[in-house]
Structure 1
Amino acid sequence: MDRPIIIALDFKGKTEIDDFLNKFHDEKLFVKVGMELFYQEGPAIISHIKERGHKIFLDLKLHDIPNTVKQAMTGLAKLNVDIVNVHAAGGKKMMEAAIEGLEAGTPAGQSRPACIAVTQLTSTSQAMLEQELLIDKTLNNVVLHYALMAKESGLEGVVCSTHEVEAISERIGSSFVTVTPGIRMKDDAADDQTRIATPELARTLGSTAIVVGRSITKKQNPYEAYLQVKKAWEGTKK
């Protein structure tokens, strides 16, 4: 993975997507299609975005019994997306089943989508972990444990906050993918995220890729906002 900026397309439908993507002219993007958009538009939106030349992280966060996840991934593999994901909390058998499904469903001659595991959402705090989820470990320990399970299950990486990247890289290696959401420019509001970071901090801590939503999509000039994020992420002055 070439350290992309993944733009979260948190829109309601195809018309909004086209209006947004048209602002980027001929730039080829890496975008994230999540539940909101996929459940409204279905697989057709994936084909439409792919036809425009963009890469896709299909962010559906599968979490179910192993056989159900396997069969779901068999279907998703046919969509020609670049990344899919599961919840690591589903356990090793479920994650292994996800890989089996992807391998079974990927058309001949194509590479299967990379599969990464969500460790803990960036909206999760230590208090929530303890009081609501009844997990009496630190967030860092939980995230690292889930990352190790993902690695052992054959996944390419994890979704985590930037604040756990160093520990994961030290334990598992820098080749293990760390996709980090919760990215905000320094003057942007945190909104519903808890463990946030700037693009500069994500770069310093070693994130493989960053996921950026409202800091680009809600701006009056999304393309200019994207360029500002790109400059911060790449550490360039231009």
Structure 2
Amino acid sequence: MDTTANAEAPLVDADHDVRRRLALVLDIDDLVVARRLGQTLRPWFGVVKVGLELYSAAGPDAIETMVELGYQVFVDLKLHDIPTTVNKSAKVLGSLGASYTTMHAMGGVDMMRAGVEGFNEGAAQAGMPEPCALAVTVLTSDDTAPPHILPKRVALAIEAGCGGLVCAVADARDARQMGPRLTIVTPGIRPAGTPTHDQARAATPQEAFDAGADLLVIGRAVTQAADPVVAASQLVESITL
């Protein structure tokens, strides 16, 4: 890590209101590295996202490690299977202390409802706060979905009792109108001037908050920066709530 920029630029820590709305993506296949990065970036992020890569490498230890660091954990496995399997899987995730988990809305009401019930049950049995099950509407890498898909999937999520949605910033305003009480989670966040990688519908942090997002999912723009600490500080500095 290049610390030269650290020495030259004043760092801006995130206050509680900002930190709790920023989710750090740890798409890393090594739990030791992920833990070190999570610990380093804790002043700027209150949530950490454990996706398929880290979960495949470390399993439940990834969740428990991040909980120990003081993070809320967003387990992004995009569950999509028969209702019984999704229910049991979500129950395990809830019992491990996950605060958020994802299910594909295309799986339908029965599947998502089973996931919501399992997630809540697992958390309750472990004495954890009530978690939030999220329905994935349209992936941010998909810029070909027809207009009717979003409202259909939001309606399914509401009927299933999901606590929130994952959607692109471009869809956030419409999603908020359809589900005003839902937690809106937006991936594909890229500060101005940074590469968009495989995110076809990227947006800046400020654009996301202005569109009504509750939780911003931020990964490579920080974790693959020359100096992640400086990148995190600059990202926070660019935000006005």
Could you say whether these structures have the same fold, taking a TM-score greater than 0.5 normalized by the shorter chain as the test?
yes
The CA distance in 1 between the partners of 2:216 and 2:91, in whole Å, is: 27
- How big is each residue's C-alpha offset from its partner over 1:10-54, in whole Å with a ceiling of 9 and x where there is no partner? 111112113313433666631100000001011012111111111
Is 1:189 the counterpart of 2:205 in the alignment? no
Out of 12, 22, 33, the position equivalent to 2:50 is 33
1:109 Cα deviation after fit: 3.4
Report the equivalent of 1:145.
152
Moved more, 5-14 or 16-25: 16-25
Is 1:53 the counterpart of 2:70 in the alignment? yes
1:69 Cα deviation after fit: 0.6
The CA distance in 1 between the partners of 2:126 and 2:196, in whole Å, is: 43
Q: What is the identity, as a one-letter code, of the residue corresponding to 2:205?
A: P
Preserved contact between residue 28 and residue 53 of structure 1 (Cα < 8 Å): no
Out of 213, 222, 228, the position equivalent to 2:228 is 222
Out of 126, 136, 139, the position equivalent to 1:121 is 139
Q: What is the identity, as a one-letter code, of the residue corresponding to 1:178?
A: I
Q: What is the identity, as a one-letter code, of the residue corresponding to 1:113?
A: P
Preserved contact between residue 57 and residue 83 of structure 1 (Cα < 8 Å): yes
Out of 154, 161, 175, the position equivalent to 1:168 is 175
Give the unaligned 5+ runs of structure 2. Answer: 1-16
SS at match of 2:238: helix
The CA distance in 2 between the partners of 1:181 and 1:234, in whole Å, is: 18
Give the unaligned 5+ runs of structure 1. Answer: 130-136
The CA distance in 2 between the partners of 1:26 and 1:186, in whole Å, is: 22
TM-score (norm 1): 0.87
Q: Relative to structure 1, is the Cα distance of residues 77 and 25 closer, same or farther in structure 2, using a 3 angstrom cutoff?
A: closer
Q: Relative to structure 1, is the Cα distance of residues 21 and 100 closer, same or farther in structure 2, using a 3 angstrom cutoff?
A: closer
The CA distance in 2 between the partners of 1:12 and 1:108, in whole Å, is: 27
SS at match of 1:124: coil
Preserved contact between residue 144 and residue 164 of structure 1 (Cα < 8 Å): no
Preserved contact between residue 95 and residue 128 of structure 2 (Cα < 8 Å): no
The CA distance in 2 between the partners of 1:26 and 1:184, in whole Å, is: 19
Report the equivalent of 1:20.
37
Is 1:5 the counterpart of 2:22 in the alignment? yes
Out of 59, 83, 86, the position equivalent to 1:66 is 83
The CA distance in 2 between the partners of 1:30 and 1:234, in whole Å, is: 19
Moved more, 150-159 or 19-28: 19-28
Q: What is the identity, as a one-letter code, of the residue corresponding to 1:96?
A: R
1:125 Cα deviation after fit: 1.5
SS at match of 1:112: coil
Preserved contact between residue 5 and residue 230 of structure 1 (Cα < 8 Å): no
Q: Relative to structure 1, is the Cα distance of residues 26 and 124 closer, same or farther in structure 2, using a 3 angstrom cutoff?
A: closer
Preserved contact between residue 202 and residue 233 of structure 1 (Cα < 8 Å): no
1:228 Cα deviation after fit: 1.7
Q: What is the identity, as a one-letter code, of the residue corresponding to 1:89?
A: M
The CA distance in 2 between the partners of 1:27 and 1:163, in whole Å, is: 25
Q: What is the identity, as a one-letter code, of the residue corresponding to 1:185?
A: P
The CA distance in 2 between the partners of 1:230 and 1:26, in whole Å, is: 10
SS at match of 1:234: coil
Is 1:180 the counterpart of 2:180 in the alignment? no
Report the equivalent of 2:5.
none
How many matched pairs? Answer: 222
